[in-house]
Chains A and B, each alone.
Chain A
Amino acid sequence: TQLLEQSPQFLSIQEGENLTVYCNSSSVFSSLQWYRQEPGEGPVLLVTVVTGGEVKKLKRLTFQFGDARKDSSLHITAAQPGDTGLYLCAGEGNAGNMLTFGGGTRLMVKP
């Protein structure tokens, strides 16, 4: 069974601060997806990273896939209240297209 550990589980910061969320595993994934979920809604895809060492930027969000494809990070620069939500990473195993989800990081950005 492939497991994904996300840290921190909870994060409360002030508007304008930077933060990093981590997604770690002892298993290799062929790709990794990041989702954001707002209360009462389903998760929405932010990005998919495929290649080891890959870096993708989405405005103030920077996603990185580890060289060994076992871990990933999400860095947010100058966080805003609109960034508040639950951030989920999900890894695709090499055997098929089932995704394994991490436990999520709940982010609160205070104005």
Chain B
Amino acid sequence: SQTIHQWPATLVQPVGSPLSLECTVEGTSNPNLYWYRQAAGRGLQLLFYSVGIGQISSEVPQNLSASRPQDRQFILSSKKLLLSDSGFYLCAWSVRGTGRSPLHFGNGTRLTVT
């Protein structure tokens, strides 16, 4: 069965510090991978998605970047965090090529920038 791992679960970082959130998927090959951010108790904003190794699409301009060094690994990074980067970050995967494939989410990372 497929599983998705996202870590850390919670993170408190000072303004100006770097960020690295990691997400890995097991049990599937060539997945689409996504990073979403969720405001408190609200909907999801798509930040980045990837259809393959090294292929990253950004949905919104921001202080963050994403990389996909391996087929089932997706990393969200920042060189210098801003207060506005605080939020709940969710990684997700879906089966490539099928638009109706549901998203399978990790359990998220709660990031607080102080």
Chain A residues packing against B (C-beta within 8 Å): 6, 30-31, 33, 35, 40-45, 48, 50, 86, 88, 90, 92, 96-99, 101-104, 106
- By size class, the interface of chain B is 20 to 34
Asked if A44 and B43 sit within 8 Å, CB to CB, the answer is no
B99 touches which one: A35, A86, A92 (CB < 8 A)?
A92
B61 within 8 A of A: no
B101 within 8 A of A: yes
A residues in contact with B110, CB < 8 Å: 40
| 24 residue pairs A–B, Cβ–Cβ below 8 Å | A6-B43, A35-B103, A42-B90, A42-B92, A42-B106, A43-B44, A43-B103, A43-B105, A44-B105, A45-B102, A45-B103, A48-B100, A86-B41, A88-B43, A90-B103, A92-B100, A96-B99, A97-B99, A97-B100, A99-B103, A103-B42, A103-B43, A104-B41, A104-B43
